Amino acid sequence: MRGKFITLEGMDGAGKSTHIPDIIKLLELKGVEVISTREPGGTVLGEKLRTLLLNEAMHPETETLLMFAARREHISQIIEPALARGAWVLSDRFTDATYAYQCGGRGVLANKVIDLEAWVQGDLQPHLTLLFDVPVEVSVARLASARTPDKFERESADFFTKIRNAYLDRANKNPNRFCIINSNQALDDVKVEVKNVISTL
Ligand code: TMP
């Protein structure tokens, strides 16, 4: 049986990556093989593109095209083979991030991303997307106390407001796929919410 594809999304500083080890454990308890991966990245070429994307200034459409170039490799080398053999794939970000960051944040036209999505993904869509949501002030404060910020993490609160709104808009338009996790509460409470969502799979 084909595996399930689960993605994690949210603004920088929303805390999604903290939950990856727990989610892997919860999924493994179901007796399935779990592949944990990320975007941009997940392959040797994808990680090289990630370094460029997170460090170099570039035109928003160049950024969009490179995200999809990395995604094409990721799908053909990692995601599709894993799903085909019945493994479950957990990806720290996928195409919703392009709609949020490149369309919402940078103003790239959604129609262009819709075309790239159809070209690169065909019918592939996540089975479930956990959107870790926090108010912008919380994410900005978390980032200020974190490691050296990358190109995206150095953006303004105004940029992050656009990202958050774009994510929430996508979640509202795809209620069957998205689960919004309130990440602005004590870590243990966020863990309970995550566990409840994973238990529905
Ligand atoms: P990370 O900090 O969650 O590892 O993600 C790396 C950055 O890449 C993050 O700031 C969001 C950004 N990004 C995009 O702008 N578009 C995309 O399509 C993806 C996958 C990530």
| Residue 61 alpha carbon to ligand 1 centre in Å | 15
Residue 36, amino acid: S
Best residue for ligand 1 mutational test, from 93, 108, 183 (most atoms within 8 Å of Cβ):
93
Residue whose Cα lies nearest atom 2 of ligand 1: it is 12
pLDDT digits (tens, 9 = 90+) for 81-105: 999 999 999 999 999 999 999 999 9
Give counts: helices (H), strands (E), the chain.
Answer: 9, 5
Q: Where are the beta strands (DSSP E) in the chain?
A: 5-10, 34-38, 88-92, 128-133, 178-182
Residues with CB under 6 A from ligand 1: 12, 38-40, 54, 67, 92-93, 97-98, 101-102, 152
Stretch 169-186: mean pLDDT: 97
Nearest to residue 20, comparing CAs of 97, 96, 91? 91
> Has this prediction a pTM greater than 0.85?
yes
DSSP summary character for residue 105: I
Residue whose Cα lies nearest atom 19 of ligand 1: it is 97
Residue whose Cα lies nearest atom 1 of ligand 1: it is 12
pLDDT reported for residue 148: 87
Write the DSSP string, 67-96: HHHHHHHHIIIIIHHHHHTT-EEEEE--HH
Stretch 107-124: mean pLDDT: 98
Please say if the pLDDT value at position 146 is more than 80. no
Residue whose Cα lies nearest atom 13 of ligand 1: it is 97
Q: Domains (ranges, CATH) in the chain?
A: 5-198 (3.40.50.300)
